[in-house]
Chain A
């Protein structure tokens, strides 16, 4: 299985901050990388697909980059509704795997 490692596991930030979350795959996965947002008690929501494409309806302050094994999710000007847990997920192999998540908390 392809292992996905996110960092940091958690972070504290203030409204208006720029936040960066990284995701590393155990092998090259081209650009087969998706990002999801999950709020407490809710199902995850697709944010970004194919490393950098924004899902319909997702605010443009979210962006993704990377290819190969290293990827980044950036949130520009963090908003109150962005406090959540973010997961990366690879779709390179048929057996999909997620990172362990990054919890973004209010400072």
Chain B
């Protein structure tokens, strides 16, 4: 069974940094493309970015609002995905979901974690 468990959320001040983690199990993590998606309170879904598998280059792509501030990385030895968030802004307040990116069904966000809440406030 695919499981994705996010952690690391919390309260941070504007301009601060936070690192989210996503522990993956139930599939071959090293072969998987992974994405982060966020949802501001009471709002819709926003794709944040993805990281490809190392065999597919390990490259990353980001949505415009976070490019240059957020970094997605992976540790395949630990089956863990990361989201490093720097220079946080109040508009980054959201629940952050870790997702598989086409694990079983290509070009979809087919499995989701339960999410972790990030609050950016002074």
Q: Which of A39-47, A63-71, A76-84 contacts B (4 or more CB under 8 A)?
A: A39-47
Interface size class of A (residues with CB under 8 A): 20 to 34
Docked-complex contact B113 and A101, CB < 8 angstroms:
no
Mark interface residues in A32-54 (1 if CB within 8 Å of B CB, else 0).
10101010000111100110000
Docked-complex contact B107 and A32, CB < 8 angstroms:
yes
Which chain B residues lie closer than 8 Å to A38 at the CB level?
45
Tell whether A91 is near chain B: CB-to-CB under 8 Å: yes
Docked-complex contact A87 and B45, CB < 8 angstroms:
yes
Interface size class of B (residues with CB under 8 A): 10 to 19
Q: Which of B61, B110, B113 contacts A94 (CB 8 A)?
A: B61
Chain A residues with CB under 8 Å of chain B are: 1, 32, 34, 36, 38, 43-46, 49-50, 55, 87, 89, 91, 94-101
Residue of B nearest to A38 (CB): B45
Known: A43-B97, A43-B112. Is A95-B47 also a contact (CB below 8 A)?
yes
Tell whether B108 is near chain A: CB-to-CB under 8 Å: yes
Q: A36-B109, A95-B63 are in contact. List 13 more A-B contacts (CB 8 A).
A: A34-B107, A43-B113, A43-B114, A44-B45, A44-B112, A45-B112, A46-B110, A49-B105, A89-B109, A91-B108, A95-B47, A96-B109, A101-B44
